[in-house]
Chains A and B, each alone.
Chain A
Amino acid sequence: MPAVAETIETVQSAQEGGYKFGFETKIEMEFAPKGLNEDIVRFISAKKGEPEWLLEWRLKAYAMWLKMEEPDWAAVSYPKFDYQDAYYYAAPKNKVVPKSLDEVDPELLRTYEKLGIPLREQERLQGIAVDAVFDSVSVATSYKERLGKEGIIFCSISEAVHTHPELVKQYLGSVVPQGDNYFACLNSAVFTDGSFVYIPKGVRCPMELSTYFRINAQNTGQFERTLIVAEAGSHVSYLEGCTAPQRDENQMHAAVVELVAMDDATIKYSTVQNWYPGDAEGKGGIYNFVTKRGACRGARSKISWTQVETGSAITWKYPSCILQGDDSVGEFYSVAITNNRQQADTGTKMWHIGKNTRSTIVSKGISAGHGQNTYRGLVKISPKATGARNFTQCDSLLIGDQCGAHTVPYIENRCASAKIEHEATTSRIAEDQLFYCRARGLNQEEAVGLIVNGFCREVLKELPMEFAVEAQKLLAISLEGSVG
Chain B
Amino acid sequence: MNTMVTGAASFLGRFEGLRERLPGGRTPWVAKLRAEAAESFRAQGLPGRRIEAWHYTDLGVLAQLGFTEALTLADEAPALPPTRAAHRAVFVDGRFAPALSLLPPGAAPLSEALEATEGRLGALAQNLPIVALNTMLFEDGLVLDVPAGVDAGEMELLSFATHAGRAIAFHPRHLIRLGEGAKLTLIDTSLGEAEATYLHNPVYEIAVAEGATLSHIRIQREGRAGFQLSTVLATVQAGGTYDNFTLNAGGRLVRNEIHVALQGPKAACHMNGAQLVAEGQHADTTTFLDHAAPDCPSRQTYKTVLAGRSRGVFQGKILVRQAAQRTDGYQMNQALLLSDDAEINAKPQLEIYADDVKCSHGATVGALDEAQLFYLRARGIPASIARAMLVEAFLTEAIEGVTNPLAQEALSEAISGWWQKEAV
Chain A residues at the B interface, C-beta cutoff of 8 Å? 73, 383, 396, 398-428
The CA of A74 and the CA of B325, in the complex, are separated in Å by 26
Of the stretches B158-166, B332-340, B406-414, the one at the interface is B332-340
Pair B352/A426 contact, Cβ less than 8 Å: yes
Provided the pairs A73-B52, A427-B358 are in contact, do residues A422 and B335 lie with their beta carbons within 8 angstroms?
Answer: no
**A409 touching B348, Cβ below 8 Å:** yes
Of the listed stretches B28-36, B121-129, B149-157, B360-368, chain A binds B360-368
**Given A73-B52, A413-B345, A426-B359, 18 extra CB contacts under 8 A:** A398-B357, A403-B355, A404-B352, A407-B348, A407-B350, A413-B337, A416-B342, A419-B366, A419-B367, A420-B365, A420-B366, A422-B362, A424-B348, A424-B361, A426-B352, A427-B358, A428-B355, A428-B357
Query: A419-B366, A422-B364 are contacts. A408–B349 as well, Cβ < 8 Å?
Result: yes
Q: Smallest distance from the beta carbon of A338 to chain B beta carbons, Å?
A: 13
Determine whether B20 belongs to the interface, using a CB cutoff of 8 Å to chain A.
no
With the chains together, A399 CA to B349 CA distance in Å? 20
Name which of A416, A417, A419 has the most chain B CB atoms within 10 A of its CB. Answer: A416
Contacts of B361 in A (CB 8 A): 407, 422-424
- In chain B, positions 338-384 with a C-beta closer than 8 Å to chain A are 338-340, 342-367
- Collect the chain B residues with CB atoms within 8 Å of residue A406's CB: 349-352
Contact of B345 among A408, A411, A424 (CB under 8 A): A411
Cβ-defined partner of A410 (8 Å) among B338, B345, B353, B355: B345
**Is A416 a contact partner of B340 (Cβ separation < 8 A)?**
yes
Q: How many B residues have CB within 8 A of the partner chain?
A: 34
Measured CA separation A405–B319 after assembly (Å): 10
- Report if B416 contacts A (CB, 8 A): no
Q: A418: which of B325, B348, B351, B365 is its contact (CB, 8 Å)?
A: B365
Q: Can you spell out 14 A-B residue pairs with CB atoms less than 8 angstroms apart?
A: A401-B325, A410-B347, A411-B346, A411-B363, A413-B343, A413-B365, A416-B338, A419-B365, A420-B365, A420-B366, A422-B346, A422-B348, A422-B362, A423-B362
- Neighbouring A residues of B325 by C-beta, 8 Å: 401
Q: Are B350 and A424 in contact (CB under 8 A)?
A: yes
- Indicate which residue in B338, B340, B343, B352 contacts A396 across the interface (CB closer than 8 Å): B352
Known contacts A413-B335, A416-B338; A404 and B360 CB within 8 A of each other: no
Asked whether any CB of chain A lies closer than 8 Å to the CB of B64, the reply is: no
Residue of B nearest to A417 (CB): B367
**B286-338 with Cβ < 8 A to chain A:** 322, 325, 335, 337-338
Bound CA span A73–B338, Å? 34
| B contact residues around A428 at 8 Å (CB) | 355-357
Which of B347, B353, B358 makes the CB contact (< 8 A) with A408? Answer: B347
Which chain A residues lie closer than 8 Å to B363 at the CB level?
Answer: 409, 411, 420-423
How far apart are B206's CB and chain A's nearest CB, in angstroms? 27
- List chain B residues, Cβ under 8 A from A405: 350, 352
Q: Which residue of B lies closest to A392 (CB)?
A: B363
CA distance A416 to B366 in the complex (A): 7
- Beyond A407-B361, A420-B365, A426-B360, is A401–B340 a contact (Cβ under 8 Å)? no
Write the chain A residue with the least CB distance to B332: A423
Q: Which residues of A contact B346 (CB under 8 A)?
A: 410-412, 422
**Considering the chains assembled together, what is the distance between the CA atoms of A401 and B324 in angstroms?**
11
Measured between beta carbons, the chain A residues less than 8 angstroms from B350 are 396, 405-407, 424, 426
Given contact pairs A398-B355, A407-B350, A409-B347, A416 touches B339 in the complex (Cβ within 8 A): yes
* A407–B320 CA distance with the chains assembled, in angstroms: 12
Which residues of B are at the interface with A, using a C-beta cutoff of 8 A? 52, 322, 325, 335, 337-340, 342-367
Q: Which residue of A lies closest to B320 (CB)?
A: A426
- CB of B344 within 8 A of CB of A413, answer yes
Minimum CB–CB distance from A122 to chain B (whole Å) comes to 41
Residues of B within 8 A of A411 (CB): 344-347, 363, 365
- Residues of B close to A410: CB separation below 8 A: 345-347
Across the interface, which residues of A come within 8 angstroms of B354, CB to CB?
A: 398, 401
| Residues on A with beta carbons closer than 8 Å to the beta carbon of B367 | 416-419
CB distance from A157 to the nearest CB of B (A): 35
Decide if A421 touches B343 in the complex (CB within 8 Å).
no
Measured between beta carbons, the chain A residues less than 8 angstroms from B343 are 412-414
Q: How far is the CB of A70 from chain B (nearest CB, A)?
A: 16
- Please determine whether B347 and A418 come into contact, CB atoms closer than 8 angstroms: no
A416 to B348, CA, bound (A): 20
Q: Is the CB of A400 within 8 A of B364?
A: no
Cβ–Cβ < 8 Å partners of B52 in chain A = 73
> A424 to B362, Cβ gap below 8 A?
yes
Q: How far, in angstroms, from A453 to B337 measured CA to CA in the complex?
A: 39
Measured CA separation A396–B349 after assembly (Å): 13
Q: Judging by beta carbons under 8 Å apart, are B348 and A400 in contact?
A: no
In the A-B complex, list the 7 residue pairs whose CB atoms are closest, starting with the nearest.
A398-B355, A416-B337, A420-B365, A422-B363, A411-B346, A407-B350, A425-B360
CA A377 to CA B344, docked complex, whole Å: 16
Instruction: Give Cα A407–Cα B52 distance, bound, in whole angstroms.
Output: 15
Known A-B contacts A417-B367, A424-B361; A399 and B347 likewise in contact (beta carbons under 8 Å): no
Chain B residue with Cβ nearest A424: B361
Question: CA A331 – CA B249 in complex, angstroms?
Answer: 37
CB <8 Å contact, A415 and B340: yes
Question: In whole angstroms, what is the CA distance A427 to B365 when docked?
Answer: 25
> Smallest distance from the beta carbon of A8 to chain B beta carbons, Å?
30
Q: Residues of B contacting A396 with CB < 8 Å?
A: 350, 352
**What distance in Å separates the Cβ of A341 from its nearest Cβ neighbour in chain B?**
15
Residue from A396, A400, A411, A423 having most chain B Cβ neighbours under 10 A: A411
The residue on A at minimum CB distance from B322 is A401
Residues of chain B within 8 A (CB-CB) of A419 are 364-367
- B394 vs chain A, min Cβ distance (A): 14
Task: Tell me the minimal C-beta distance from B345 to chain A in angstroms.
Answer: 5
Residues B349 and A420 in contact, CB atoms below 8 Å apart: no
- Cα–Cα, bound, A267→B222 (Å): 52
Q: Name the distance in Å between B9's Cβ and chain A's nearest Cβ.
A: 26
Identity of the chain B residue whose Cβ is nearest the Cβ of A431 in the assembled complex: B356
Contact (Cβ within 8 A) B357 A426: yes
CA–CA, A415 and B339, complex, Å: 8
Residues on A with beta carbons closer than 8 Å to the beta carbon of B340? 383, 415-416
Name the B residues within 8 Å of A423 (CB-CB).
360-363
Q: Return chain A residues, CB-CB under 8 Å to B360.
A: 423-426
Once the chains bind, are B353 and A404 in contact (CB under 8 Å)? yes
A399 contact set on B, CB distance < 8 A: 355
Shortest Cβ gap from B252 to chain A (Å): 20
A421–B352 CB distance below 8 A: no
- Min CB distance B104 to A, Å, is 42
Nearest CB in chain A: distance from B387 CB, A: 13
Chain A residues near B344 (CB-CB < 8 A) = 411-413
Closest to B336 in A: A416
Max chain A C-beta neighbours (<10 A), residue from B52, B322, B363, B365: B365
Given contacts A408-B347, A409-B347, A411-B345, are A398 and B352 in contact (CB under 8 A)? Answer: yes
